[in-house]
């Protein structure tokens, strides 16, 4: 890396660190003021409260990265312009692309960091934060993490209904299992059981009554004190927390969409969220690419106030547009992949147009 690139990169990283630190501090202070009264009313220990805000930090970083990148870009180039350093660089024959290349390179690295955070760190810290808030701070029962009443589960040729799930004993109560003919909805067998217990080999139905169907009529009935059921259902599938997209990785979201599709349900909502997991981190690179021509067009008049105001305005517009378009994808109005990448594409096109109109 040449001296000029190192100089711009250091100035940019210094400004980026200040912007990101400011966003994290503001978010944590506001969140602390909002939650501290509720937490202390439950008699929470200070250690659990501190741990809650620590586990909240990775998600804040991921959300603040695009805005911090944009603000750091505007402030860095604005400061260089106010100090006539940009004028000196350009008078020496240094192109705008050369000046901006360290910023674009760092923003692309930050996009990959954001993607890694969302895939590796945030799903774990999200689950930990919810557990700390609900169980350790608000003293709720761990059983609230499971869907315990009126459970429905569908597999390739079977539908299970249970009235209750007891997570402490891994036991289903009030079980009804329908087995269907492949490719049809015609019932082949119905099994009613008082309970189902999970052991190392799978689910075992207790006090079961089996009714075989033929031509839509009951052909035979038999009873069994114990009957093994061929089900892939696991206790983890009954966790309410596991169905939140924020707590799943991209791979888990993909598998969950396949499971929904195989069960006959529409996975469009989760597909849109899965594709947005790829597109959102690259908002950092898009924000840097958009911020560079904005800063250069403002010239020496772009100070700190202008940089902060522009970054907040553009960042707010990006969030609003992206939220609206993603909601279209979740509703099926747009294809999930198109909805996930449209906002980045729009802002990238605006950045290209502004770059082409910047005076050399």
On whether both 115 and 206 belong to a single domain, the answer is: no
User: Virtual CA dihedral for 156, 157, 159, 165, nearest 10 degrees?
Assistant: -60
On whether both 71 and 172 belong to a single domain, the answer is: no
Is the per-residue pLDDT at 143 higher than 70?
Answer: no
Average pLDDT score over residue span 134-148: 65
The helix/strand/coil state of 93 is coil
- Residue 129 forms part of a structural domain: yes
On whether both 230 and 333 belong to a single domain, the answer is: no
Last residue of a domain, one of 213, 234, 255: 234
H-helix or E-strand containing 176? strand 171-180
- Residue 19 forms part of a structural domain: yes
The helix/strand/coil state of 172 is strand
Between 139 and 13, the higher pLDDT residue:
13
Is the per-residue pLDDT at 306 higher than 80?
Answer: no
Last residue of a domain, one of 186, 211, 234: 234
On whether both 36 and 121 belong to a single domain, the answer is: yes
Provide the 10 A C-beta neighbour count for residue 212.
16
Assign 263 a pLDDT band (cuts: 50, 70, 90).
low
**pLDDT of the residue at 305:** 67
- Residue 244 forms part of a structural domain: no
**pLDDT of the residue at 149:** 59
State how far the Cα of 74 lies from the Cα of 61, in Å rounded to an integer: 19
Is the per-residue pLDDT at 110 higher than 80?
Answer: yes
- Residue 92 forms part of a structural domain: yes
pLDDT (tens digit, 9 = 90+) per residue, 8-61?
A: 999 999 999 999 999 999 999 999 999 998 888 888 888 999 999 999 999 999
Number of structural domains (the chain) is 2
Q: What is the DSSP letter of 233?
A: -
**pLDDT of the residue at 241:** 42
**pLDDT of the residue at 346:** 94
- Residue 258 forms part of a structural domain: no
On whether both 8 and 133 belong to a single domain, the answer is: yes
Average pLDDT score over residue span 130-152: 69
On whether both 203 and 187 belong to a single domain, the answer is: yes
Between 82 and 116, the higher pLDDT residue:
116
- Residue 344 forms part of a structural domain: yes
Average pLDDT score over residue span 92-98: 81
Query: 170 and 198 in contact (C-beta within 8 Å)?
Result: yes
Provide the 10 A C-beta neighbour count for residue 342.
20
On whether both 319 and 286 belong to a single domain, the answer is: yes
On whether both 9 and 76 belong to a single domain, the answer is: yes
- Out of 24-38, 187-201, 282-296, the most confident range is 24-38
Is the per-residue pLDDT at 200 higher than 90?
Answer: no
- Residue 90 forms part of a structural domain: yes
Assign 248 a pLDDT band (cuts: 50, 70, 90).
confident
- Using alpha carbons only, what angle is made at residue 227 by residues 222 and 229, rounded to the nearest 5 degrees? 115
**pLDDT of the residue at 360:** 52
Query: 175 and 205 in contact (C-beta within 8 Å)?
Result: yes
Between 261 and 122, the higher pLDDT residue:
122
H-helix or E-strand containing 153? strand 149-154
On whether both 133 and 163 belong to a single domain, the answer is: no
Average pLDDT score over residue span 325-350: 92
On whether both 130 and 7 belong to a single domain, the answer is: yes
Last residue of a domain, one of 209, 234, 259: 234
On whether both 104 and 29 belong to a single domain, the answer is: yes
- Residue 246 forms part of a structural domain: no
Range with lowest mean pLDDT among 54-68, 204-218, 273-287: 204-218
Token pair, residue 357, equals 């109109």
**pLDDT of the residue at 359:** 58
Tell me the CB-side half-sphere exposure of residue 128, using CA atoms within 13 A.
17
Token pair, residue 247, equals 């707590």
Give the domain range for residue 134: 3-139+272-357
**pLDDT of the residue at 311:** 80
On whether both 9 and 128 belong to a single domain, the answer is: yes
């Amino acid at each position: 890396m040449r001296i000029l690139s190192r100089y711009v990169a250091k100035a940019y990283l210094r400004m980026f660190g200040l912007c990101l630190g400011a966003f994290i501090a503001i978010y944590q202070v506001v969140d602390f003021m909002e939650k501290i009264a509720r937490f202390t009313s439950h008699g929470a220990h200070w250690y659990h409260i501190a741990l809650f805000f620590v586990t909240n930090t990775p998600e804040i970083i991921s959300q603040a990265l695009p805005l911090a990148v944009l603000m750091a870009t505007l402030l860095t180039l604005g400061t260089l312009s106010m100090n006539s350093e940009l004028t000196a660089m350009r008078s020496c024959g240094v192109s705008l692309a050369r000046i901006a290349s360290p910023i674009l390179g760092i923003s692309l690295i930050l996009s990959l960091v954001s993607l890694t955070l969302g895939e590796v760190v945030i799903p774990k810290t999200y689950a930990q934060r919810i557990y700390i808030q609900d169980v350790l701070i608000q003293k709720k029962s761990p059983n609230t993490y499971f869907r315990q009443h009126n459970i429905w589960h569908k597999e390739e040729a079977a539908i299970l209904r249970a009235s209750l799930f007891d997570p402490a004993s891994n036991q289903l109560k009030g079980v009804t299992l329908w087995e269907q003919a492949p490719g049809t909805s015609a019932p082949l067998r119905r099994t009613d059981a008082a309970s189902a217990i999970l052991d190392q080999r799978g689910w075992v139905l207790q006090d079961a009554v089996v009714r075989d169907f033929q031509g839509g009529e009951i052909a035979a009935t038999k009873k069994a004190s114990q009957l093994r059921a061929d089900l892939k259902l696991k206790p983890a599938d009954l966790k309410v927390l596991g169905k939140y997209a924020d707590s799943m990785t991209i791979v888990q979201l993909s598998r969950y969409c396949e499971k929904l599709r195989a069960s006959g349900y529409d996975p469009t909502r989760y597909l849109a969220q899965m594709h947005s997991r790829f597109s959102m981190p690259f908002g950092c690179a898009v924000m840097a690419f958009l911020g560079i021509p904005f800063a250069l067009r403002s010239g020496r008049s772009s100070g700190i106030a202008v940089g902060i105001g522009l970054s907040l305005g553009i960042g707010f517009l990006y969030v609003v547009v992206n939220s609206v378009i993603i909601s279209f994808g979740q509703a099926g109005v747009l294809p999930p992949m198109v909805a996930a990448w449209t906002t980045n594409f729009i802002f990238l096109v605006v950045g290209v147009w502004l770059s082409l109109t910047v005076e050399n």
